[in-house]
């Protein structure tokens, strides 16, 4: 393997993201829609043991974070994991399909987060006006936040991190305070281990709760902008993942300890806010809803930032049309790929029920992480990573995917079919684009 950097097109020559900025990007990309919408769905599978599911999925994320940190330190670039996939597998059809699949996943997940923002915005607006708001306004709010954050990201990385720091700070203060309050007020009998389901169901929910950690990969795309990436990339990865895992486990214990399994499932979409009612009343419900707005804003912001380096790299490698790699006029910080990606996210958010298929984004990401880990094993000598840890990450992630597929096939066969269709579509689109662009398909 060569140490020569691939031409990944860092969108800013100046290293403009500090360690703290990278940490906030990581936390902001994770503490998004997932934590506000997952408790109900995860509770249907793991019941009161959801906190264990968050713990296991957090450990898997840390194992993958170790791999990402080693790769990011050795090969820092704005292309992030796309750069690593190319290094591991070459530039053939197989690689192109993986990259395209990852791009699909980002579009779906970001659209889902935007829709969640819109739903909370409608709820809060209705509370403020004392009336019921037409749900169509949810789509309007979703579109508005996508457009606003696209403009912000087009300004440059420094603007992104400043906004992210403010957003994430507010969210963390609210959620951390709320978690402490719940832990002091909960009914411990609701969490009795004797009532937990069998371990296979707890593990089957891991891929679902992993969705809440999904954004940690966004840190990999800051490699082209982060100061001293060799030192700061691993620190940002470990600190953001470690803090987020502790927060998630605390929130899961608190929510189920306050509401119980039946109460969580009955308030599936707003379990976190519902848990605030017994402790803080209507004001607590409103505060958590406001936190959801800030949190989803941070998650969208991080994903759009990552799309700048990702689409530039994909365009340079030929996985996407060249237009995705063009810089916007008079804007050094953004590319046309950001704008095009935002338009696609808008289309998904406005035209499809992305919430129903959001779990596909998590499953696809897990599959991509498995492939990155396999590629990393081939580069371990260069990165200095422990093969034992990489193999452990590979086994744990693969097991999570298999259990997710097993549970999805039994409980939601339509979602399983969509998942398989999405995977196939990625390689079909890549093959068609290669045929149109007359690019040579190299053997991987």
Residue with tokens 């990606």: 341
The tokens describing 258, both together, are: 């306050």
The whole-angstrom separation of Cα 243 and Cα 328 is 36
Which residues are 226's β-sheet partners?
17
| Torsion angle (degrees, nearest 10) of CA 15, 20, 23, 28 | -100
User: Residue 310: what are its φ and ψ, rounded to 5°?
Assistant: -65, -50
The whole-angstrom separation of Cα 10 and Cα 76 is 10
The tokens describing 355, both together, are: 């919430």
What is the pLDDT, as a whole number, of residue 103?
Answer: 83
Give pLDDT tens digits along the chain (444 positions): 444 444 444 444 455 677 887 887 788 778 866 677 678 878 888 999 999 999 999 999 999 999 988 888 888 765 677 778 888 888 788 888 888 888 888 888 888 888 888 888 888 888 788 887 888 898 999 999 999 888 877 766 555 566 667 777 888 888 889 999 999 989 999 999 988 998 888 888 887 788 788 777 777 666 567 777 778 888 888 999 999 999 999 999 999 999 999 998 888 767 888 888 888 888 888 888 888 888 888 778 777 877 776 777 777 766 677 777 666 544 444 467 888 889 999 998 888 776 566 667 778 888 888 999 999 999 999 889 999 999 999 999 998 888 888 878 887 788 888 888 888 998 998 888 888 876 654 444
The whole-angstrom separation of Cα 119 and Cα 188 is 32
What is the pLDDT, as a whole number, of residue 245?
Answer: 94
String of DSSP letters for 350-371 = HHS-GGGGHHHHHHHHHHHHHH
What is the pLDDT, as a whole number, of residue 442?
Answer: 47
What is the pLDDT, as a whole number, of residue 12?
Answer: 40
The whole-angstrom separation of Cα 38 and Cα 23 is 23
Structural domains of the chain in order of their starting residue, each with its CATH number: 19-437 (1.20.1740.10)
Which residue, among 150, 113, 127, has the nearest Cα to 348 in the 3D structure? Answer: 113
The whole-angstrom separation of Cα 396 and Cα 383 is 21
What is the pLDDT, as a whole number, of residue 11?
Answer: 40
What is the pLDDT, as a whole number, of residue 69?
Answer: 85
The tokens describing 329, both together, are: 């006029």
Count Cα atoms within 13 angstroms, Cβ side, for 42. 31
Q: What is the pTM of this model?
A: 0.79
């Amino acid at each position: 393997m060569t140490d020569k950097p691939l031409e990944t097109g860092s969108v800013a020559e100046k290293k403009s993201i500090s360690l703290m900025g990278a940490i906030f990007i990581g936390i902001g990309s994770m503490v998004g829609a997932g934590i506000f919408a997952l408790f109900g769905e995860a509770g249907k599978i793991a019941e009161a043991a959801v906190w264990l599911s968050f713990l296991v999925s957090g450990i898997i994320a840390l194992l993958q974070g170790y791999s990402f940190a080693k790769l990011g330190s050795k090969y820092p670039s704005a292309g992030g994991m796309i750069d690593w996939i190319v290094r591991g597998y070459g530039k053939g059809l197989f690689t192109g399909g993986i990259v395209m699949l990852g791009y699909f996943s980002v579009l779906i997940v970001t659209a889902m987060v935007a829709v969640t923002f819109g739903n909370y915005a409608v709820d809060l607006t209705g509370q403020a006006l004392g009336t019921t708001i037409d749900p169509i306004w949810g789509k309007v709010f979703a579109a508005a936040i996508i457009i606003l954050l696209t403009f912000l990201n087009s300004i440059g990385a420094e603007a992104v991190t400043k906004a992210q720091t403010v957003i994430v700070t507010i969210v963390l203060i609210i959620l951390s305070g709320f978690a402490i309050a719940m832990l002091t007020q909960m009914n411990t009998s609701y969490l009795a281990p004797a009532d937990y389901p069998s371990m296979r169901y707890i593990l089957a929910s891991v891929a679902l709760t992993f969705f809440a950690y999904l954004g940690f990969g966004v840190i990999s795309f800051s490699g082209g902008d982060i100061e001293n990436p060799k030192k700061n990339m691993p620190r940002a990865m470990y600190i953001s993942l470690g803090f987020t895992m502790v927060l998630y486990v605390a929130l899961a214990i608190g929510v189920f300890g306050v509401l119980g399994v039946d109460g969580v499932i009955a308030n599936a979409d707003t379990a976190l806010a519902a848990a605030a009612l017994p402790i803080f009343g209507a004001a607590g419900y409103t505060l958590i809803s406001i936190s959801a707005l800030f949190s989803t804003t941070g998650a969208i912001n991080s994903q759009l930032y990552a799309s700048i380096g990702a689409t530039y790299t994909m365009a340079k490698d030929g996985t996407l049309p060249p237009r995705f790699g063009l810089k916007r006029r008079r804007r050094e910080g953004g590319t046309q790929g950001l704008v095009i990606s935002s338009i696609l996210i808008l289309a998904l958010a406005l035209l499809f029920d992305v919430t129903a298929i959001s779990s596909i984004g998590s499953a696809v990401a897990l599959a991509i992480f498995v492939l990155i880990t396999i590629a990393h094993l081939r580069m371990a000598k260069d990165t200095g990573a422990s093969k034992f840890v990489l193999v452990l990450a590979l086994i744990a992630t693969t097991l999570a995917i298999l259990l997710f597929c097993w549970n999805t096939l039994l409980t939601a066969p339509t979602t399983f079919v969509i998942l398989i269709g999405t995977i196939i579509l990625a390689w079909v689109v890549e093959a068609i684009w290669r045929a149109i662009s007359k690019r040579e398909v190299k053997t991987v």
